[in-house]
Amino acid sequence: MNLVAEVVIRKNNLKSLSHILTLVKKDLLLEIRQQYSFYGILLYIGATIFVLFVTMNEPETKVWNGLFWVVQLFICINAVAKSFLQESKGRILYFYSIVNPRDFVLAKLLFNSLFMLLMSLLSLFLFTLFMGNPIQKAGQFIGLVLLGGWGLSLIFTFLAAIAAKAQQNAAIMAILGFPIIIPQLLLLSKLSNSVFSFSTSIALPTVLLILALNILVIFLATILFPFLWKD
Amino acid sequence: MSEPKNYMYKSWWKILSGVLLLYTFAAGILLSVPRLPQLQETIRNLYFHVCMWFAMMVLFTISFINAIKYLRSNKLIYDIKSRQYAVVGIILGLLGYLTGIIWMSYTWADPNNPAYASFNSIAREPKLIGAAIALLVYFAYLVLRDSIQDIDKKARISAVYNIFAFAMLFPSIWILPRLLPSLHPGAEGNPALNFNDISPTMRLVFYPAVIGWSLLGVWIATLKIRIKMIKEKIIL
């Protein structure tokens, strides 16, 4: 009896895993077929950083740090907003009939995380290229950028789901998201202050705290999304 | 209405709230307080300023609980409750800022500078930022609600946001004070709850004051809920 139950559970887990992977693959395919949105974001990153480059030359490290995280925030809103807004009503209904909402939201979170990680790395490269490079510990800063991009993408993916359900544009995402993201941005910019000199070391408890916050967001998203989804 | 005589229609806790608040005003102004060099008599503001924030958090928590209840039952009454408690919580938060401004103008503000000039250094206070986050979250909650036409959809989506935001709000209120330097008393946690923070006589007034103000907030919210219930009688 136990064995049968275990097999069923394992089968279900495998099934939902394959569902998630299929959904991620579908998003990836869409991204490849409709390349205009991908290039749109690339252009957004390039243009934003270029505007900063033109309006200020070689900012000091504190300003550099602040600007970098604010730019990350705006890139994230633009990159993630479309994930739910692009889905038409008919398509949502179709997904509703074939997949579990939990798998659906996990797939979106996974895809947006990967997408945002890529965009973060790209914007870091452009930022150091145009705005000067004050970073002393490159490896640690890259790690922080990935961690920060991941956290931002998780929160804004869920808020994009809310905004899409409310049939609103990306502006309401910013209103809903800014107060929630403030502590995380503060933590990140505090942490990244330590990579500008060799004398200070990175605070590991803070890194773990951000990780814990991210896990909390995933947890909340999987619990709350099923309510959002049914009409 | 499914439950006929619940707490909203009982009178004992409303009387209790009135008695406690009368006591707060009388004892808060008459009893002696320790004279600290910086604070002097302004320390009496503790019975009003800190209580506003306590009452605000109590009301936001009730709003959060009602949002959960809504998602579990789909009864619109919980949505109405959730919204009204959030609104009264916002009002208490604004009053908390107001009493804070009065207190701050005697203790923190530099008398040689105009208030406008010292604003940006004072506003970087972690407690102020934490409170601002809480208020922004609930303002966003109200904007989100009003942007949706369909009643059930409005209730469901705003309940989801309420739960998500509340769950993210609490960690931030604990994290922020440990991140930024602070002038505010009780930087390491909850001001005035710590036993070293306030004298025993002040505690005699402070605890009843917290309960009194919270009950008053709940009372105001229940009045708003009852008005709303009469207005929305058809859909309930």
- For residue A10, the 8-state DSSP code is H
Q: Whole-angstrom Cα distance, residue B141 to residue A196? A: 38
Chain A residues whose C-beta sits inside 8 Å of any chain B C-beta: 155, 158, 162, 165-168, 172, 175-176, 178-180, 182-183, 186-187, 190, 209, 213, 216-217, 220, 224, 227-228, 231
> Does residue A5 lie within any of the structural domains?
no
> Does residue A62 lie within any of the structural domains?
yes
> Does residue B221 lie within any of the structural domains?
yes
Question: Which string of DSSP letters, residue by residue, matches B122-187?
Answer: HTT-HHHHHHHHHHHHHHHHHHHHHT--SHHHHHHHHHHHHHHHHHHHHHHHHHGGGTS---SS-T
pLDDT number for residue A99: 85
- B137 or A83, higher pLDDT: B137
Question: Which string of DSSP letters, residue by residue, matches B63-97?
Answer: HHHHHHHHHHH--HHHHHHHHHHHHHHHHHHHHHH
> Does residue A8 lie within any of the structural domains?
no
Q: Provide the whole-model pTM.
A: 0.87
pLDDT number for residue A119: 93
Among chain B residues, the shortest Cα distance to A224 is held by B160
Residues 6+ apart with CB under 8 A from A172: A163, A166, B143, B144, B147
Closest of A218, A92, A95 to residue A153, by C-alpha:
A218
Mean of the pLDDT values across residues B41-69?
90
Partner-chain residue, chosen from A167, A209, A220, that has the shortest CB–CB distance to B175: A209
> Does residue B227 lie within any of the structural domains?
yes
Residue B147, domain extent: 53-198+214-231
> Does residue B39 lie within any of the structural domains?
no
Mean pLDDT over the full length of chain A: 86
Structurally, how many domains does chain B consist of? 1
Measure A228 CA to nearest chain B CA, in Å. 6
Q: Whole-angstrom Cα distance, residue B67 to residue A72? A: 32
Among chain A residues, the shortest Cα distance to B148 is held by A166
Mean of the pLDDT values across residues A92-103?
84
Mean of the pLDDT values across residues B202-227?
91
pLDDT number for residue B1: 44
Q: Whole-angstrom Cα distance, residue A169 to residue B84? A: 26
Tally the residues of chain B.
236
> Does residue B40 lie within any of the structural domains?
no
> Does residue B58 lie within any of the structural domains?
yes
Q: In the predicted model, is pLDDT for residue B197 greater than 90?
A: no
Residue A105, domain extent: 17-229
> Does residue B36 lie within any of the structural domains?
no
- pLDDT tens for residues A108-164? 999 999 999 999 999 999 999 988 888 888 888 999 999 999 999 999 999 998 988
pLDDT number for residue A58: 80
By CB atoms closer than 10 A (0-12, 13-18, 19+), residue A32 is exposed
User: Residue B181: pLDDT band by 50, 70, 90 thresholds?
Assistant: low
> Does residue A172 lie within any of the structural domains?
yes
Structurally, how many domains does chain A consist of? 1
Residue A200, number of CB atoms within 10 A of its CB: 12
> Does residue B47 lie within any of the structural domains?
no
Q: Whole-angstrom Cα distance, residue B72 to residue A9? A: 26
Residue percentage of chain A with pLDDT more than 90: 39
> Does residue B46 lie within any of the structural domains?
no
pLDDT number for residue B196: 55
Given CA atoms B111, B112, B117, B121 in this order, what sign does their dihedral have? negative
Measure B122 CA to nearest chain A CA, in Å. 17
